[in-house]
């Protein structure tokens, strides 16, 4: 895997909208937030365009991503937000060019589709992180989240470090065990959406990270079942579960008509008999940790240890 050069103050960041449109009133705040980190900013056309719910037509969004990788004056690329649309530009990206121009690439949620493609097709380490127009501008952005983000994008070549929750948030062991493998994954909806496509996630021997937001428990059940039937859970070396924000029963007044997420995890994931760590502070939540996708991680689930070692 190619580890991109770490960013430093004064470097230039390309902002791109690979997914949903950015509200025009939020754009200047997002740019300002990135500039406050000490970076210069180049705003891609996709951050200003709208095509219905998308940040411009597919060709424009793909062009922005391609040009930011190709431009030697751009040091890193931040997806300004998630939403929907990243899967639509996958066939339009120049993977060979991107592979030859490794750069820090960040985002999460819908950006999961790009993480999987870049990890697998470009052998590029990418970063599952909060984003400028959705988290950077929030007053509740905390020191833990900022520090995790900045350490990941500036100290990219660290040989060994631990991925740890905030001190007041405990991880939970679902299945004990120790295993080592490349860290992959992201949003469960997007991971599942790759199945049956040329960009299908390859979980063989890897640690599969999953999180999601605003899904009924039965939807989580359906998607995890699809991953299981596709052999993705059996292929994985281990599983890491992040935040499941606002994922609950369709009818909260009748909980007996649903299954708790804990029950779903126990019925679908535990039989794989792979080490599983849950309640990891990562996903659609604050505070949230940033993850170096593609780096090799040692998972010791009973000790709640995730150590990046390669």
Please tell me which residue in 19, 20, 46, 109 is annotated as part of the active site.
Answer: 109
Three-state SS at 110: helix
Q: How far apart are CA 281 and CA 225, in angstroms?
A: 24
Q: How far apart are CA 307 and CA 242, in angstroms?
A: 16
Question: What is the edge-to-edge ordering of all strands in the sheet holding 178-187?
Answer: 161-162, 305-308, 296-300, 178-187, 207-213, 238-245, 276-278, 172-175
The reply to whether 109 belongs to the active site is yes
User: Which residue shows structure tokens 């951050």?
Assistant: 47
Per-residue CA distances from 301 to 176, 180, 206, 277, 298 (Å)? 5, 11, 15, 5, 9
Angle at which helices 217-229 and 261-268 cross, to 10°: 10
- Cβ atoms 139, 224 nearer than 8 A: no
Question: Tokens representing 144?
Answer: 């833990």
The reply to whether 284 belongs to the active site is yes
Residue whose C-alpha is closest to residue 184's, from 169, 175, 194: 194
DSSP state of 237: S
Please tell me which residue in 148, 284, 290, 301 is annotated as part of the active site.
Answer: 284
Please tell me which residue in 211, 217, 258, 301 is annotated as part of the active site.
Answer: 211
Three-state SS at 135: helix
Residues known to be catalytic = 109, 211, 284
């Amino acid at each position: 895997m190619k580890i991109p050069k770490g960013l430093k103050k004064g470097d230039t960041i390309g902002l791109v909208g690979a997914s949903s449109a950015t509200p025009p009133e939020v754009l200047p705040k997002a740019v300002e937030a990135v500039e406050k980190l000490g970076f210069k900013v180049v705003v891609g056309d996709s951050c200003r365009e709208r095509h219905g719910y998308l940040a411009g037509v597919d060709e424009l969004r793909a062009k922005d991503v391609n040009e930011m990788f190709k431009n030697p004056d751009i040091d890193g690329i931040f997806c300004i937000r998630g939403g929907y649309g990243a899967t639509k530009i996958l066939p339009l990206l120049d993977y060979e060019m991107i592979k030859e121009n490794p750069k820090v690439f960040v985002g999460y949620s819908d950006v999961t589709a790009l993480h999987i493609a870049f990890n697998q097709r470009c052998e590029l380490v990418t970063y599952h992180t909060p984003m400028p127009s959705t988290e950077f501008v929030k007053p509740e952005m905390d020191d833990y989240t900022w520090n995790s983000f900045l350490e990941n994008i500036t100290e990219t070549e660290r040989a060994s470090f631990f991925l740890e929750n905030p001190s007041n948030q405990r991880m939970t062991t679902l299945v004990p065990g120790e295993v080592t493998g490349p860290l992959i994954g992201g949003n469960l909806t997007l991971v599942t959406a790759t199945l049956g496509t040329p960009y299908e996630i390859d979980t063989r021997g890897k640690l599969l990270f999953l999180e999601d937001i605003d899904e009924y428990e039965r939807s989580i059940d359906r998607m995890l079942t699809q991953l299981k039937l596709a052999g993705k859970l059996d292929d994985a070396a281990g599983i890491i579960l992040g935040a499941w924000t606002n994922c609950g029963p369709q009818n909260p007044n009748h909980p007996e008509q649903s299954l708790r997420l804990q029950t779903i995890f126990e019925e679908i994931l535990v039989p794989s008999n792979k080490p599983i760590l849950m309640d990891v502070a990562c996903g659609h939540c604050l505070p949230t940790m940033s993850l170096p996708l593609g780096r090799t991680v040692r998972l010791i689930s009973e000790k709640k240890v995730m150590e990046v070692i390669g």
